[in-house]
Amino acid sequence: MAPFIVFEGIDGSGKSTTIHEISQRLSARGIAVESLREPTEKTDASREIRRILRTVREVTPQISKELLDLFFIDRLWDINNQIIPSLRAGKVVLLDRYFFSTAAYQADSDARAHEIVATYLADDRIILPELIIFLNLPVDEALRRVGTRRELDVFETETRLNAIAARYNSIFSALPQHKKTVAVDERRGVLTAQDFEELSARIAALVVAQKK
Ligand code: TYD
């Protein structure tokens, strides 16, 4: 199977741009790539997720629980119908958000976030990525980017994104396989062509290693 790469970070952190840049560089090296995202937009669960994120004003514990279940359903579908088939076909999968998002967004404390990660890690239906690329952009800068692009969803306020960013940092520093996580620190505000080149080279090396 080809390597499975996950991108995480708050809204506006540059996941989709980074995926696009890496995808082009891998293709130029002759490596087959499939770019995917969660929520998938392809299941009833994902459509219900979108509806909720656009319409609620407050994420109550009840809504968080509902989102937790819906993301799980959508994710299992994604794994079985898109991720695993692509990896089996020899394509590197670049996934925009995985269960670390669920832990960062659906938890109301760090302890709860760690519990959600532990539940996913213990479930043998959930496949684990070879590499997690965590885009760690300051919240004010991320919000500035998102605000000019489109309407904001319920999580996209400064207070909520600050809590989510803190949770991501807590999750990735505690992750047992943390060596697999590259934290791209975007304090400079932008990723450069050299950053994309380095990340692509790292993924290309994983492709070579897995072929052996
Ligand atoms: P996002 O990829 O940011 O979509 P968009 O490009 O439209 O902003 O994801 C949509 C929202 O879903 C985002 O606010 C984060 C949230 N989310 C969760 O709350 N839990 C999850 O498990 C995932 C994957 C996303």
pLDDT tens digits for 112-157? 999 999 999 999 999 999 999 999 888 888 888 887 777 788 888 8
Name which residue sits closest to atom 12 of ligand 1, judged by CA: 39
Name which residue sits closest to atom 8 of ligand 1, judged by CA: 11
Q: What are the sequence ranges of the domains in the chain?
A: 4-211
Atom of ligand 1 nearest to the CA of 11: 3
Token pair listed for 15: 């996941």
* Class of domain 4-211 as given by CATH: alpha beta
Helices 158-174 & 139-147 angle (0-180, nearest 10): 130
Atom of ligand 1 nearest to the CA of 16: 6
Give the per-residue pLDDT at 202: 94
Average pLDDT over residues 78-103: 98
Percent share of the chain, pLDDT over 90:
75
CB 36 within 8 A of CB 97: no
Cα separation, 143 vs 172, whole angstroms: 22
Tell whether the model's pLDDT for residue 188 goes beyond 70.
no
Name which residue sits closest to atom 3 of ligand 1, judged by CA: 11
Tell whether the model's pLDDT for residue 189 goes beyond 80.
no
Q: How confident is the model at residue 85 (pLDDT cuts 50, 70, 90)?
A: very high
Tell whether the model's pLDDT for residue 210 goes beyond 90.
no
Q: Among 7, 10, 11, name the best residue to mutate to test ligand 1's pocket (greatest count of ligand atoms within 8 A of Cβ).
A: 11
Average pLDDT over residues 104-112: 95
> Ligand 1 centre and the CA of 211: distance in Å?
33
Position with higher pLDDT, 133 vs 178: 133
Phi, psi of 102, deg, nearest 5: -60, -45
Contact partners, residue 33, CB within 8 Å, separation at least 6: 23, 26, 27, 91, 92, 93, 94
> Ligand 1 centre and the CA of 128: distance in Å?
19
Give the per-residue pLDDT at 177: 66
Residue with tokens 């997720």: 49
Atom of ligand 1 nearest to the CA of 102: 22
Q: Would you put residue 97 in left (φ > 0), alpha (ψ -120 to 50) or beta?
A: left
Tell whether the model's pLDDT for residue 187 goes beyond 60.
no
Give the per-residue pLDDT at 69: 98
> Ligand 1 centre and the CA of 134: distance in Å?
15
Secondary structure of 61-80 in the HEC alphabet? HHHHHHHHHHHHHHHHHHHH
Closest CA to 12 of 131, 186, 206, 211: 186
Average confidence score pLDDT of the chain: 92
Contacts by 118-121 with C-beta closer than 8 Å and gap 24+?
121/176
CB 115 within 8 A of CB 167: no
Contact partners, residue 180, CB within 8 Å, separation at least 6: 129, 130, 131, 132
Give the per-residue pLDDT at 42: 98
Cα separation, 18 vs 119, whole angstroms: 28
Give the per-residue pLDDT at 100: 97
| Ligand 1, residues at Cβ distance < 6 Å | 11, 37-39, 53, 67, 71, 96-97, 101-102, 105-106, 153, 155
